Amino acid sequence: MRAFSLPTFVTGFLVGAFITFLIALCYLKASGGILATDGGKPRAEPQANDDSMQWDFYEIFPKSVVPVVEEYTKTGKKVIVDNSRWVLQAGSFKDAIDADERRATLIMMGLDVSIQKVKVDGANWHRIIVGPFDSVLERSRAQNKLAQAEIPSIPMKIPAS
């Protein structure tokens, strides 16, 4: 009895490889992979139509314009007076408890924090407002504190009252 025959081994190996190739080919066609075509032309998968995105910047930008106030000195020079102040938005939460937790964290950091309740698309949101700040330097210092604590913030210019 012979233990090993090279032609028998090669034949068995090639038959096994061919069967494996056929099985893989069936799985590729079933899953809609590259080999699934329509009359020789590849077909693209339909993209989901996502109408949930809102493009509110058309409304936001005109509202965010801050008028420039010009005054004239006794010598007749024109001076631009900026009576606006700065605040930082350090989060916005639907749940009031989450907003209170963020507010407490920021108070522990030594920041002046308030919660502003707003209604957006019929839902109540709680915005975390840090400030107001009278100068860009104060705002930058507070923004650096928030960045060190890995809390994202958005600077917003508001009219002074």
Q: Can you list the positions of beta strands (E) in 9-143?
A: 37-38, 41-42, 69-72, 78-81, 84-93, 113-120, 123-133
Cα separation of 141 and 112, whole Å?
13
CATH architecture type of domain 81-159: 2-Layer Sandwich (3.30)
Asked if 10 and 20 touch (Cβ cutoff 8 Å), the reply is: no
Cα separation of 91 and 125, whole Å?
10
pTM higher than the cut 0.85:
no
Residue 35, pLDDT > 80, answer no
Better pLDDT: 31 or 84: 84
Domain extent listing, the chain: 8-33, 81-159
Residue 52, pLDDT > 70, answer no
Cα separation of 66 and 63, whole Å?
8
The strand pairing partners of 73, in sequence order, are none
Residue 23, pLDDT > 60, answer yes
Tally of helices (H runs) and strands (E runs) in the chain: 4, 8
Better pLDDT: 63 or 7: 7
Q: Give the helix/strand (H/E) hosting 106.
A: helix 96-108
